Structures are given as C-alpha cells and as structure tokens.
Amino acid sequence: MKKMTIAVVSSTLLAAAAWAAHGLAQEPPAAGAANVPQPLALSTGAQAQLIEQGRYLATAADCIACHTAKGGKPYAGGVGIASPIGTIYSPNITPDKATGIGGYSFEAFDRAVRRGIAKDGSTLYPAMPFVSYAKMPPSDVKALYAYLMQDVAPVEQQNKATDIPWPLSMRWPLRFWRMAFAPDVVSDVAPGAADGVVARGRYLVEGPAHCGTCHTPRGLGLQEKALTDDSRLFLSGGVVDGYLAKNLRGDRKDGLGEWTPEQIVAFLRSGRNAHAAAFGGMAEVVGRSTQNMSDADLAAIAAYLKTLSPAHADGSALAADPAATQKLRAGTDRSNGALTFVDNCAACHRTSGSGYESTFPTLALGSVVNSDDPTSLIHIVLEGGRMPWTKAAPAQFGMPGFAERLTDRDIADVLTFVRSSWGNRAPAVSASEVAKVRKAVRAAPQPTRPENG
C-alpha cells in the first residue's frame, strides 16, 4: 500500500472520510443486471414475523436516516453525504427493480451489507458501516432483506452520481481499505436474552446500532481505531459533523462513570436525563431510532456500556464547588466569561450551572462540558440546538445560536468560564478554536464591535 502513488493513496483514505453515514453507498446498478432475488420459502406467519424482525433491525440501525432525503419518500435515497473530496449521495434501497435494490438476491444483499462489496464486485464507500454490520448473523440480515423487499414501498427514483472528481473517484483502491480494516463476517446466531443481557447489549452496540462509527476515534486511514471492547479506544469518543460524539466508557469525568443504567436508558428513550441532553446527530438518533427500541434492548445496551473500563487513567470524580455561584450572585466576578454567562446563559442554565432537569441541561459537572475536546460546546453555542421530540418527553426545548451575537473571544471566554466553574475541570478554550469550528460548520461571521473611544 505504501508503494501506491499519492493520488491513489489519497483516493483510498479520503474516500473513506464519508464514513459518517450508513447505507449502500454505491453507484447505480448496471442496466439489465442479472441476479434476480428469489422469494424466501416461509409460511405466512413466519414470513410476517421475519419482516417485523427486519423492521426492528432497520430501526435499531437507523437506516432511514441516510436513505431518506428531506421531503423524500422513505428509503429512496438522495441524501448528500459530505466528505473532504466531494459529496456522496445515498442510494435508493427500496425494492424498485429499475432504480432500487429490487434486483438484489439475498446473497448479493448480504455481500453488500456485511462485506462492503457491491453487486458489480466493486467496494462500497466506507460511508456504509459494513465493518459493524459484519457482526450481524445471516439470520438478521435475512430479516432486514425481507423487510426492505416486502414491506417497503418501491420508489422509482434514479440514484445521483457522486460529486467526487477523478482520480479521487476511483473505486478500486477502496478494496485495499476493506482488506486492511474490515473484519470477517460472523456466521452464528445473534445473542438473545438467553445468552445474557450484557451479550445482547454488546451485539447491539457493536453490530446493528454501530455506535462505534461515531463514538470511536479514527486512525490515519480514517478507520475506526477499535471495533470491539478489546481496546480502551473503543467508544472513547470521536468528532462527527462538528460535534464530539462523547466518551461512552466508564470515565467519571467525561464518560458514563457517573451515569446509572437507568439514566442511560432514560437518555436513549427520551434524549435527556439528569446529566445531559441529546443534540446534533445524537438527537436525530434518539428521535428516529433508540426511542423506538424495546425496553429490554435499551436495558441491555446500558448494562453492556457499564461494563466498559475507563479510557483514561485518571478516573477521579468531579466534586461540586459553590464558589462560582457565590461570585455570580454577588457580582464580584467581572471577567468577560462571567459577564457573558450572566447576560446570555444564566436565565436557562442558572447561576448554579444546574439548569432545569429535563428542560435545560446542567453545565455543572456535566460529562460533555468536561471533555478535553470542546468542539461540541463551541458548535452548540454558535448554532444552537434542539432536543428531540420523543414519546417519553414530547416537549421539545431548544437553545438559540449565538454566532451573530458573540465574538470568537466572547465564546472562548464564556466556555472557559463554564469549564472551570462549579467543580468542572476542563482545559480553557481559545478564540482560534472557536474560529476553526465557526468556519467548519459554516456559522455566521462573528459580529464586529465598535472601537472603544
């Protein structure tokens, strides 16, 4: 691989940058392609059960997220997936034979989902997390196939070609990426309740729900640095779409060490708990996927996550400190960070930093606030955010963006204040870090301030 030309290496690595979505990200199938699917030979009752199983797996995997364009038909594709080399558009995975996957046999579907190999033999973009789906047994893939083929309405909608220029658009180097980073597919049955709650949770997290796709850091080849909990890097946090997908391991400062299993379930069910609120991509995951999973499976996920050891050696808990609250209430802290907080944040998050549970998230001792990487905090201050609407918590609260109200220095100062108050201990934020995120997320330019006369 080291002997490849620079162009080929760039094609291999940068094309992998489209990892953030999931779906059968491939070119439209060749016209007149053979390999017509054969119906599954099952009784009516068994077939209905298989389809329902597939519907549930599609929900757990949040397939609809990347295969349904805004205002479009379900699973008809067309979602633009941004990457450093251009845009990849998710394909139509409805059972339409002309433009969708209606011509896929189960074997062809299985190769695409679990091995990342398209019907024509080319490698799929790692936008589709086949490295996680490799852990799904054939029985679950068969259920997903039955659901898409027999319960999803066919939609005749042509797939969009990628906006990736040549030579970066070449597919063949991706074969080497797959050979280097994709695991072997499993052949046994997926863990069920009889195999233990933790085993079921591990399967869901590592397999269909592909949590590592966002929550595991990436290597130089943009591959997940770990695919299982054999490594402490697994689920230790990663940056996605301008947000930090938080550490899900047992760290007490910035992970789930202080979260109870019940609080993890509450977060996955409603998008909020006493520690945090879902925002960015996670709010969409909760809204479309996890809130619709069974109580047993959410409990299994929580049980498994609580078995993960801390990613970092320093696992000491944070301790509340009332000093910042006292200074804010007395008006003795005249720093720009404190004054900016009082003017823009205190009404919702309170001078104690405790917020209002299930309404405005706490800033005091919060794991997101205390992450070393401030990307998420900068992003949400710039552009705001909105909690997901869920059946468990139908009230949808939001936070406005401050990109046009606060300068990079103001945001850096207020976040530094927050990350060092009420017992929080996280590194200071610089104006250059804010400027970098502002540019990356294409937020409004910072306001200009008149010169002090």
Whichever domain contains 39, its CATH number is 1.10.760.10
Indicate the pLDDT class of residue 56, thresholds 50, 70 and 90: very high
Cβ neighbours of 259 (radius 10 Å): 23
Domain that holds residue 214: 193-305
**22 and 130 both lie in a single domain:** yes
Q: What share of the chain is helix, strand, coil (3-state, %, to 5)?
A: 40, 5, 55
Number of domains making up the chain: 3
> What integer pLDDT is reported at residue 19 of this predicted model?
38
Report which of residues 91 and 449 the model is more confident about: 91
Q: What 3-state DSSP class applies to 245? A: strand
Indicate the pLDDT class of residue 43, thresholds 50, 70 and 90: low
Q: What 3-state DSSP class applies to 338? A: helix
Looking at the chain, the whole-number percentage of residues with pLDDT higher than 70 is 89
Omega of the bond leading into 137 within 30 degrees of 0 (cis): no
Mean pLDDT of 244-254: 94
Which of 170, 205, 227 is the last residue before a domain boundary?
170
- Judge contact between 140 and 168, C-beta under 8 A: no
**243 and 166 both lie in a single domain:** no
Could you report the per-residue pLDDT of 350-387, keeping only the tens digit for each?
999 999 988 899 999 998 999 999 999 999 999 999 99
The CA distance from 256 to 236, in Å, is 10
**367 and 296 both lie in a single domain:** no
**22 and 81 both lie in a single domain:** yes
Q: Which two tokens stand for residue 163?
A: 């906006």
By the 10 Å C-beta count (0-12 exposed, 13-18 middle, 19+ buried), 33 is classed as middle
Domain assignment of residue 318, yes or no: no
Mean pLDDT of 226-247: 93
Report which of residues 16 and 279 the model is more confident about: 279
Indicate the pLDDT class of residue 6, thresholds 50, 70 and 90: very low
Report which of residues 169 and 297 the model is more confident about: 297
Where is average pLDDT lowest: 73-77, 188-192, 213-217, 288-292?
188-192
Contacts of the segment 275-278: beta carbons below 8 A, 24+ positions apart: 275/361, 275/362, 275/366, 275/367, 276/361, 276/362, 276/366, 276/367, 276/368, 277/361, 277/387, 277/397, 278/387, 278/388
Which of 275, 305, 335 is the last residue before a domain boundary?
305
> What integer pLDDT is reported at residue 32 of this predicted model?
37
Report which of residues 171 and 217 the model is more confident about: 217
Domain assignment of residue 182, yes or no: no
Helix (H), strand (E) counts: the chain = 18, 6
Q: How many Cα atoms within 13 Å fall on the side-chain side of residue 210?
A: 29
Domain assignment of residue 178, yes or no: no
Mean residue pLDDT of the chain comes to 88
**282 and 405 both lie in a single domain:** no
Is the overall model pTM greater than 0.75, yes or no?
yes
- Judge contact between 350 and 452, C-beta under 8 A: no
Cβ neighbours of 329 (radius 10 Å): 14
